[in-house]
Amino acid sequence: MIENIDLSLVSWSRAQFALTAIYHWFFVPLTLGLSFIIAMMETIYYRTGSEEWKRITKFWMKLFGINFAIGVATGIILEFEFGTNWSAYSWFVGDIFGTPLAIEGILAFFLESTFIAVMFFGWNRVSKRFHLVSTWLVAIGASLSALWILVANAWMQNPVGMTFNPETARNEMTNFLEVLFNPVAADKFLHTITSGFVLASVFVAGISAWFLLKKRETYLATRSILIAGIFGFLSSVLLAITGDMSARSVAKYQPVKFASFEALYEGKSRAPLVAAGILKKGEKGVGRKNMPEFIFAIEIPNLLSFMTGGSKDAYVPGIYDHIEGNPRAGILSFAEKKERGQKARETLLEYKKAKEAGDETKASDIAALFTSKDFRENYFRYFGYAYIDNPEDIIPDIRVSFYTFHLMVLLGFFFILLFALMLWFLFRNNIRKHKWLLWIMLLSIPLPYLASELGWVLAEMGRQPWIIQDLMPVSVGVTNLKSGNVQTTFWLFAVLFTALLIAEISIMVKQVKNGPEKTEEKL
């Protein structure tokens, strides 16, 4: 690593950002999914004119509003942390990373914020059609916000569409469309919003189940389960499909992360997929005796090769391929990547020396290297390796990656089964008789939150040590602060966010207990 890095500062900066992101993500997915469920409910009200559907819509809209307000507060803090805690990173890629975030704020967030006022306060003040359009625009705006944020995040995991400027030591965007249509961004966006759809559907179904258990609001509960069940079932199937697409992207653009999902050390053809397993604790280092091995594993033969390469004979690289290299598979070793990264860094230092010496001709020649395709693809793309000394530093935590991935997948299949069961009994008109299912629906509310958080833990911890894949390690991106300053704000945020979360849960529970506006209930 580079000299004079305060590893305590790096750890606390990572912890603070992780804390903010985790709390923020408690609120975002419900906003993404519930906004569309509300829009569908209001569409039914618009087409039927039924006051019961208006009442149902307004009840779920009230819960949406509580969640939305607190989600905005945590999201603003999250974006500010790039400047306060990660200024070196922001300088290095701010021209690229800042663009989608600016678009999110100027376009998507203002679209969402403008029409949310009409959605909440426009009942009986604007036409039914305009109100319906406003509700749909809020839902679309929420997804557009997620799109631009995920475009920025995906660029960190697969940097494209840019050129490095040695004069400013910054990466500059050269192709906006390449950044926008980054394959990682497309897969990440689809997988993320469908996870929000599933979460909101479980949330609506679970609260509706509570009403049925209490023998209250049966009309609202059964109709809400119908909407949530259909939307949730379709979304959960799509979630599995987009999850497979996302895993293929990881295998292509972040192969070490992918190998850690399956605890695959030795690359192989006809690689099995580990359906379930338990890993023993490994020791520090990259030696084969030090890595966490399976105590037991349930494997599906050839499936991993087929999923990644389309054939059971496809070769799936393991972690050691990326440490030791594999010429047959076209994989460079860690030592080769480090050598190339050092050459790129030394070239940058030569440019600075030439500028300081007033040798503009030499400086111009060196600057041209950074725009050449050969230098960018063979040297600069490994720039970050110049700051890493030990091969084991490019390996994420195997056990965290393996368990988060497999638990997330298991929960995904559980949601498909849950929605299928609730629809089956709902269409048979006897869901109220099966209290066991209603209790499962109610108790399942925390599970999509867990699955969603696991997905982000996997995405972010799985790409360690990189803040930008292969270009910048996390330890190089921090702001030059005192560790104590970050510790102080970490605990302040921990208290604040916990208070906000408790407040939201308390307010929501109270609103659910109060129920919707009182009118004569239709059974």
**pLDDT, tens only, 484-523:** 888 888 899 899 889 988 988 999 899 999 888 775 444 3
Asked if pLDDT for residue 287 goes beyond 60, the answer is no
Token pair, residue 154, equals 């995906």
Residue with tokens 């679309």: 140
From the CB of residue 42, how many other CB atoms can be counted at a distance below 10 Å? 24
Q: Is the pLDDT of residue 199 over 60?
A: yes
Instruction: Map tokens 């897969």 to a residue.
Output: 187
Per-residue confidence (pLDDT) for residue 282, from 0 to 100: 61
**So where are the chain's domains?**
16-259+392-511, 268-316
* SS3 sequence of 445-486: CHHHHHHHHHHHHHHHHCCCCEEECCCEEHHHCCCCCCHHHH
| Interval 297-313: pLDDT, tens | 888 888 888 888 778 88
Rounded-to-integer distance, Cα 393 and Cα 284, Å: 10
> At what angle are helices 435-443 and 183-213 packed, to 10 degrees?
130
The CA distance from 508 to 495, in Å, is 20
Burial class of 361 by CB neighbour count within 10 A (0 to 12, 13 to 18, 19+):
exposed
In this prediction, residues 415-422 reach a mean pLDDT of 95
- Tokens read off for 107: 């376009």
Is cis: bond before 272, omega within 30 of 0?
Answer: no
Tell me what the pLDDT averaged over the chain comes to.
Answer: 88
161-196 per-position pLDDT tens digit: 889 888 888 888 989 999 999 999 999 999 999 999
Q: Tell me what pLDDT residue 523 has.
A: 33
- For the record, the structure tokens of 451 come out as 């699955």
Q: What is the pLDDT of residue 25?
A: 87
Name which of 90-99, 102-111, 285-294 the model is least confident about: 285-294
Show the tokens assigned to 180: 């926008």
pTM value is 0.90
pLDDT of residue 79: 75
pLDDT confidence of residue 203: 96
Average pLDDT over residues 240-260: 90
Task: Report DSSP letters for 90-144, one per residue.
Answer: HHHHHHHHHHHHHHIIIIIIHHHHHHHHHHHH-TTTS-HHHHHHHHHHHHHHHHH
> If we measure between CA atoms, which residue out of 222, 206, 196 comes closest to residue 418?
206
> Is the pLDDT reported for residue 64 higher than 70?
yes
